[in-house]
Structure 1
Amino acid sequence: MADFGFNEHHQSEIINYMRFARSKRLLRLKTIDSCFEELKDSRLVEDTFTVDEVREMLDGLQMVVRGEVEMELIDTAHTNVLLLRQIFSQAEKFYLRLQSDISELENRELLEQVAEFEKTDFKITNKINQETSKPMLAPLNEGGVSELLNKEIAKLQEENDKLKSRLRTLETQAMSALDEKTKAERALKDLQRTQGEQKLSAQTKEINSLEDTVAALKEDYERSLSANAASQKDLKENLITAKHELLRVQEQLTLAEKELEKKFQQTAAYRNMKEILTKKNEQIKEIRKRLQKYEPDD
């Protein structure tokens, strides 16, 4: 009796599938036989044929047989995909990730074992399988340690992916904040020419403080991500704390922007600066339109 390392239930499932595959194979072979019989009955009615007539008959037969074989191969491939779909669907319910080795599908030794199994075991167990029902593929013991570990691993991986996504979002926001800081610095330089360095020193310190806060926030999240394996609970608490810190920084940035805008409006240079920025924005839009002709967005 061939041994594939399966339990009795999985052995029975293999036998059921092989019975199904054999019935489909026999049906297709009967179809091919009928093609030859039809050729004999319809065309082989004379004693002699020319070379062209024989070639024509063989070409027609070849086309018909080729179509039947191709249809059977396609149908077999699609049937195997449906079988794998059932197996993978049941595995995903228990957070399992199945893998396959395509190279083993051409292992001659294993193929010979399958052929031997079809000749012997398939016939021996045919009577037993007729008495059994056709249950759905049963999963492994739900309370097994392996499944619990796989669930926990999948959960941790999901949390890790969320943290990575959150970190990317924070990095984007940090870059945005740095861009805003750069714009504010340029505005401050323009104001320094008109109002002097003394009035703007406090604002410059505030912007530098915000920059340090954003850099510290980014560093804190990178440390939190590297320490993900230490404790899932700590990661969640760090995420909440970082979120609050980010909101506070954003609020400070908003207040700083409002304060800058207020001071801008109090100066005579505000209108000139606004006009310059409007012109620059129009130029940037025009440049982007030109770039899109050569480098379209993905």
Structure 2
Amino acid sequence: MADFGFNEHHQSEIINYMRFARSKRLLRLKAIDSCFEELKDSRLVEDTYTVDEVREMLDGLQMVVRGEVEMELINTAHTNVLLLRQLFSQAEKFYLRLQSDVSELENRELLEQVAEFEKTDFKITNKLNQEASKLKLAPLNEGGVSELLNKEIAKLQEDNDKLKSRLRTLESQAMSALDEKAKLERTLKDVQRTQGEQKEINNLEDTVAALTEDYERSLSANKATQKELKESLITAKHELLRVQEQLALAEKELEKKFQQTAAYRNMKEILTKKNEQIKEIRKRLQKYEPDD
């Protein structure tokens, strides 16, 4: 017999699954054979066929066979998933975590061992397989390793309950601490708000005092400034009168000097002559155009 490292019970389970897989495989092969027989009976009724007719028949056969093979592959994959589900469910009852190595599924050496097992040991262990087919996967016995495992599980559950109780206590304490912290934070905020308001009042008082001092200082400065401005205004008026007087004297002096110049005397003589000429012309005009 091929040695997979299993005990007698698991060996029988493998045989049972291989029998199931073989029966499904044989059914699918019969379906494929029936596809060919149907083609022979329904289409191969003449002696000669054209190339197009042969191609059409082969294409139709290819589609049917492809569908059968694909259906079998999908069904096999789904069946394997259901088998793994049974194994994982039983393992989880004992808090076990099974692992699988997908790369080992293509190990040629192991695949050849399985094929050899199917050829030789499948028939020899047929009786054992019939007895095993009546059984279902069951938990381990209550003695030996199983008893120790159950005790360890019970101990872990007890420790887990204690930890849960401790966790609830810590959560309660943490919630109380959080509530107390929230109260302290609110109190601190109130104190800080009060201190801030008092500080603001003090700042306002200092500002008012500073403004009052500035106002008094500005008022004193304004009085002194008004006095200085008044004196400056009087001085400016006196200066203005003095300048106006000097300007008048300067104009008189300038006019006097201008009248003493030759140009002024010539201009005056010219204007005098012009005025006399204008008077003479008016007298002549009055002779010809007397006034109304």
Q: TM-score, normalised by structure 1?
A: 0.54
SS of the counterpart of 2:133?
coil
**Aligned in 2, Cα 1:216/1:152: closer, same or farther, shift over 3 Å?**
farther
Shift of 1:58: 1.6
Shift of 1:85: 2.2
Shift of 1:48: 2.9
Shift of 1:107: 1.1
Shift of 1:26: 0.6
SS of the counterpart of 1:176?
helix
How far apart, in 2, do the equivalents of 1:134 and 1:286 lie? 170
Shift of 1:37: 1.0
Aligned pair partner of 1:268 in 262, 272, 277? 262
Range 249-258 or range 108-117, more displaced = 249-258
How far apart, in 2, do the equivalents of 1:172 and 1:187 lie? 23
8 Å contact 1:181–1:211 — kept in the other structure? no
Deviations 1:199-239 (A, max 9, x none): 9xxxxxx9999999999999999999999999999999999
Deviations 1:248-276 (A, max 9, x none): 99999999999999999999999999999
**Aligned in 2, Cα 1:234/1:134: closer, same or farther, shift over 3 Å?**
farther
How far apart, in 1, do the equivalents of 2:52 and 2:98 lie? 55
How far apart, in 2, do the equivalents of 1:282 and 1:159 lie? 148
**Aligned in 2, Cα 1:48/1:162: closer, same or farther, shift over 3 Å?**
farther
Deviations 1:119-140 (A, max 9, x none): 1011112244346651112333
Shift of 1:92: 2.4
Shift of 1:57: 1.6
Range 111-120 or range 121-130, more displaced = 121-130
How far apart, in 1, do the equivalents of 2:88 and 2:289 lie? 42
Identity %: 92
RMSD between aligned residues: 40.1
Could you list the runs of 5+ residues in structure 2 that have no partner in the other structure? none
Deviations 1:15-49 (A, max 9, x none): 12111111111111000000011111111222333
How far apart, in 2, do the equivalents of 1:47 and 1:98 lie? 61
Deviations 1:97-146 (A, max 9, x none): 22222221111111111100111011112244346651112333333336
**Aligned in 2, Cα 1:144/1:251: closer, same or farther, shift over 3 Å?**
farther
Give aligned pairs, total: 292
Range 71-80 or range 127-136, more displaced = 127-136
Q: Which residue of 2 aligns with 1:224?
A: 218
Q: TM-score, normalised by structure 2?
A: 0.54
**Aligned in 2, Cα 1:196/1:73: closer, same or farther, shift over 3 Å?**
closer
Shift of 1:7: 1.8
8 Å contact 1:36–1:61 — kept in the other structure? yes
Q: Which residue of 2 aligns with 1:294?
A: 288
Deviations 1:60-88 (A, max 9, x none): 11111111111111111222222222222
**Aligned in 2, Cα 1:239/1:279: closer, same or farther, shift over 3 Å?**
farther
How far apart, in 2, do the equivalents of 1:269 and 1:72 lie? 141
How far apart, in 2, do the equivalents of 1:31 and 1:279 lie? 155
**Aligned in 2, Cα 1:106/1:54: closer, same or farther, shift over 3 Å?**
same
How far apart, in 1, do the equivalents of 2:119 and 2:286 lie? 67
How far apart, in 2, do the equivalents of 1:167 and 1:155 lie? 18
SS of the counterpart of 1:143?
coil
**Aligned in 2, Cα 1:223/1:246: closer, same or farther, shift over 3 Å?**
farther
Q: Which has the higher contact order (CA 8 A, sep 6+)?
A: 2
Range 76-85 or range 282-291, more displaced = 282-291
